[in-house]
Amino acid sequence: MMQAFPKTYRLASAGFDMEFGHRTGIMGVVNVTPDSFSDGGKFLSRESAVDQGLKLAADGADILDIGGESTRPFADPVPVDVEIERVIPVIEQLAAEISIPISIDTMKAEVARRAIEAGASIINDISALRFDPELGAVAAAFGTPVVLMHMLGSPKTMQLSPSYADLIGDISDFLDAAINRALKQGISKSKIIIDPGIGFGKTVSHNLLLIRQIQAFAVLDAPILVGPSRKAFIRKLLKDEHSGDITADMPIVETGTQAAVAAAVLCGAHIVRVHDVANTRATIRILDAMKVVRKD
C-alpha cells in the first residue's frame, strides 16, 4: 500500500530555502577521491569534479554533496590537509556558478569550516557529531544545517559482522541521541536532517528492512535522507542476474538503485542521495505524482 505524503519540512539557511515532503529532494554526489566505491578517481581533479557538479545541477539536483574522503567499507582516514586540498577549490568554483546549496561530506570540523567559508551551506556528517568534538560548534556558529547519519563504528570497522538486538529500535535510539547531541551544541532542530545509514554497518537484510521501515523514523520529527545509490547490497542482490563481476557503474546497478530509490520514497524518505540525478529526477517525478495526499 502506498504511503501518504510524509510530513513537510522546511530547510532554510544562507542563500536557500527548500521544502521537502510533497516533493522529494535529490542530493547529487561528487566524490573528489581516488578510492570511493562508486566512482573513485573519476572526479579527483578540480576540473572533472566541477564539470560533474555542473552536470548534476543541470540534471535537477536540489543539493550537491562534495566529499574528499572515501567512506567505503574498510577505508583508511584521510588527513585534514589532504581533504581540504581536494574539496575547497571545487566548492569555491561551484559556489560561483550554481545557485543550489552545496553540502560538504566530512567528519572534520576544520574541513567543514573551510568548506562553509568557500561557499558550502550544509554539513553531511556520517559520524553524527561523534568523531570531532568541534564539528557541532562549527555548524552552530554558521547556522548550517547538518545531516546526522547512523553508522556502526567507523568506515574501517563498520562491516565487520554487523548485528543488532533490534535494528529499527537501535538505529532510532542512535539518531535520537544524535539529535540531542546536536541540540546541546547549539544546532537548531529545524536545521537537522537524519539518515539511517544504508550500507554503513548493515547486512543486505538490514538494508532492505531499513528501506521498508523508513516511516518508523518519522517519530524523530526531522526530514529523512536515504542514500542507497550503487551500494553493495544492490550489487549483491543482482549478482545472480549477471555472469561476471558487477561494478558500481554498470547500468544494471543503476536500475537496481532506482528500485531502491522508489521504495525509499514511497516508504517516507524526504531526500535521496544519488550519483545519477537525471534518472532519479524522472523516477521521483512519477513517484511524487502517485503519492496519496494527506488528509490531516
> Which positions are annotated as active-site residues?
231, 273
Instruction: Fill in the DSSP letter of residue 31.
Output: E
Coil, helix or strand at residue 42: coil
Cell numbers standing for residue 42? 573519476
Coil, helix or strand at residue 271: strand
Coil, helix or strand at residue 94: helix
CA-nearest of 69, 59, 57 to 96 is 57
Cα 223 from Cα 194, distance rounded (Å): 6
Helix (H) or strand (E) segment spanning residue 9: strand 9-13
Task: Give yes or no for a contact between 150 and 128, defined as CB atoms under 8 angstroms apart.
Answer: yes
Task: Give yes or no for a contact between 43 and 49, defined as CB atoms under 8 angstroms apart.
Answer: yes
Q: Label residue 134 exposed, middle or buried (CB < 10 Å: 0-12, 13-18, 19+).
A: middle
Cα 83 from Cα 88, distance rounded (Å): 8
Cell numbers standing for residue 285? 517525478
Coil, helix or strand at residue 212: helix
Question: β-strands 63-67, 225-226: how paired?
Answer: unpaired
Cα 272 from Cα 193, distance rounded (Å): 12
Coil, helix or strand at residue 92: helix
